[in-house]
């Protein structure tokens, strides 16, 4: 993901890497290995970056872009056998209020059609879905080999195709597996919540991000806090578990807008709201702004330092620290 987001800075930060893969890697790695094994030129391999020595200096060479893989069903399922799955299933991911062993993480789609300012889609910008036949064939394989009790659908966005979600819920029932996924408030209906509940969905996770509409607009979320309130109450009243997250520090965030979100979270303990400061990730709009404004002056150092917390908001450093402390105090109180 980092190589895809900022290829030259990442390869320089890695220091000892010779070749990086930009974008989805399943097809690229096969072509690259074939070129290396046959000692042929790697210039013809799309979607890579590598170092080229010249008489005066070394240059980073980026080959032509590799298109997003259009048909996800063409890809082989992950080979789980080498990952000590017995040990893996003994661990308990504490997520969304669900703390249970024998949990598997799966994908039914890639990328997301939205362009929120804090996000970077490591698997391309085009949203693509696996067929449900392919997904459930893989699930049959997994359940025949492993004692799966719960399932985390790790898609960036699970609910973009509502009819597909409905069909998924019908087909998942027979497995008696509890599962959770990420949703958007703008396409949730009472009917869909009922279908999800009947389909053993244990938790609906929402990216709330802010309780102030000015911040939501700046983030390009295309939602409002009024719609968020409506949907979360609907889900809660129907007896479904729901969680969400607020992130602070958007470009237009002020001490006042941050307080609006903190007050909103305090008013709704029933929703199990997580709070954190925005992370400025390479490839995101916020990252580009931070680089252009000189907040990030050395991209290589920023990566080597682990993408540390920076302030891109309208808040002063003192106000920023006050918000960080308020979030910390709230989490302690909730705990």
Show the 3-state SS of 117-176: CCCCCCCCCCCEECCHHHHHHHHHHHHHHCCCCEEEECCCCCCCCHHHHHHHHHHHHHHC
Structure tokens at 138: 């893989």
Q: Can you give the pLDDT at residue 333?
A: 63
Among residues 132, 243, 235, 227, the alpha carbon closest in space to that of 180 is found at 243
Residue 335 has pLDDT above 60, yes or no: no
How much is the average pLDDT of 277-305?
97
How much is the average pLDDT of 158-186?
95
Phi–psi pair at 126, nearest 5 degrees: -95, 125
Structure tokens at 204: 């609906």
Is residue 51 a contact partner of residue 18, using CB atoms and an 8 Å limit?
yes
pTM > 0.85: yes
pLDDT tens-place string over residues 249-268: 999 999 999 999 999 999 99
Structure tokens at 180: 């959770």
How much is the average pLDDT of 18-29?
96
Among residues 249, 218, 246, the alpha carbon closest in space to that of 232 is found at 246
pLDDT tens-place string over residues 218-238: 999 999 999 999 999 999 999
């Amino acid at each position: 993901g980092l190589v895809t987001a900022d290829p030259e800075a990442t390869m320089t930060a890695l220091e000892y890497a010779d070749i990086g893969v930009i974008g989805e890697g399943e097809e690229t790695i096969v072509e690259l290995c074939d070129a290396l094994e046959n000692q042929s030129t790697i210039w013809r391999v799309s979607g890579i970056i590598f170092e080229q020595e010249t008489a005066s200096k070394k240059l980073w060479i980026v080959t032509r872009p590799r298109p997003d893989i259009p048909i996800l069903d063409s890809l082989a399922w992950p080979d789980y056998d080498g990952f000590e799955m017995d040990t893996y299933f003994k661990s308990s991911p504490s997520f969304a209020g669900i703390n249970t062993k024998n949990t598997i993480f799966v994908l039914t789609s890639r990328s997301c059609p939205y362009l929120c300012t804090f996000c970077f889609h490591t698997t391309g910008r085009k949203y693509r879905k696996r067929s449900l036949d392919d997904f459930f064939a893989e699930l049959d394989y997994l359940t025949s080999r492993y004692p799966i009790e719960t399932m985390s659908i790790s898609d960036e966005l699970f609910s973009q195709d509502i009819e597909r979600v409905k069909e998924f819920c019908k087909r998942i029932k027979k497995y008696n597996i509890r599962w959770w996924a990420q949703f958007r408030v703008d396409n949730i209906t009472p009917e869909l919540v009922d279908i999800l509940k009947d389909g053993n969905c244990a938790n609906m996770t929402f990216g709330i991000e802010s309780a102030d509409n000015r911040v939501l607009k700046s983030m390009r979320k295309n939602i409002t806090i009024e719609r968020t309130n409506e949907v979360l109450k609907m889900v809660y009243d129907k007896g479904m578990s729901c969680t969400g997250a607020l992130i602070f520090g958007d470009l237009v965030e002020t001490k006042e807008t941050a307080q609006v979100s903190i007050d909103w979270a305090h008013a709704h303990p029933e929703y199990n709201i997580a709070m954190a400061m925005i992370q400025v990730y390479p490839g995101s709009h916020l990252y580009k702004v931070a680089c252009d404004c000189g907040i990030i002056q050395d991209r290589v150092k920023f990566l080597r330092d682990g993408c540390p917390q920076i302030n891109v908001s309208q808040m002063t450093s003192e106000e920023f620290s006050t918000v960080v402390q308020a979030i910390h105090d709230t989490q302690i109180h909730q705990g």
